[in-house]
A = this chain, B = another copy of it.
Amino acid sequence: MKIPIDDKLNSKNVKPTAMRELVLDVLIKQTTAISLSDLEQKFEKADKVTLYRTLKTFEENKIIHSIDDGSGSVKYAMCTDTCQCNPAELHVHFFCTMCQKTYCLNEIPVPSVSLPVNFDLQSINMVVKGICANCRR
């Protein structure tokens, strides 16, 4: 199949199967994060569980990251090329209450917060809700 897609998979040590190529192709083309059921609807006949496991595999291998945007279903989006998914490089996510789309605001890092004494930070999830630029106009 397409060379850059296989390259991506190989570089993340994920074996490029037909299914994975198709899923990664869909993911790369997204401008906003998608859920498992969004993904399911992009295929005529693909099993939800296979898609589910494909997403899990991609996530484990840092091809994508998952986003809990509070909408009730977890969304997934591509990691940036340099992303190591560590706490220091977390970015803010934006959920549009009008179009229900979830955006990675890759340019906007999660601000640091000072916790009460003896509270240890592991990670932060920051989701801004509002109206996106597309819906705004």
On whether the beta carbons of A105 and B115 are closer than 8 Å, the reply is yes
On whether the beta carbons of A97 and B122 are closer than 8 Å, the reply is yes
The answer, yes or no, to whether A4 is at the interface (CB within 8 Å) is no
The answer, yes or no, to whether A124 is at the interface (CB within 8 Å) is yes
The answer, yes or no, to whether A120 is at the interface (CB within 8 Å) is yes
On whether the beta carbons of A120 and B113 are closer than 8 Å, the reply is no
Copies per complex?
Answer: 2
On whether the beta carbons of A105 and B116 are closer than 8 Å, the reply is yes
On whether the beta carbons of A133 and B111 are closer than 8 Å, the reply is no
Residues of B within 8 A of A68 (CB): 68, 70
Q: How far is the CA of A137 from the CA of B108 in the complex (A)?
A: 34
Number of residues of chain A lying within 8 A (CB) of chain B = 32
Closest beta carbon of chain B to A94's beta carbon, Å: 6
Interface residues, chain A, CB within 8 Å of chain B?
A: 68, 70, 92, 94, 97, 105, 107-108, 111, 113-133, 136-137
Q: What are 25 A-B interface contacts by the 8 Å CB criterion?
A: A68-B70, A94-B115, A97-B122, A105-B115, A108-B113, A108-B116, A113-B126, A118-B136, A118-B137, A119-B132, A120-B130, A120-B136, A121-B129, A121-B130, A122-B129, A122-B130, A123-B128, A123-B129, A123-B130, A124-B127, A124-B128, A124-B129, A125-B125, A125-B126, A126-B127
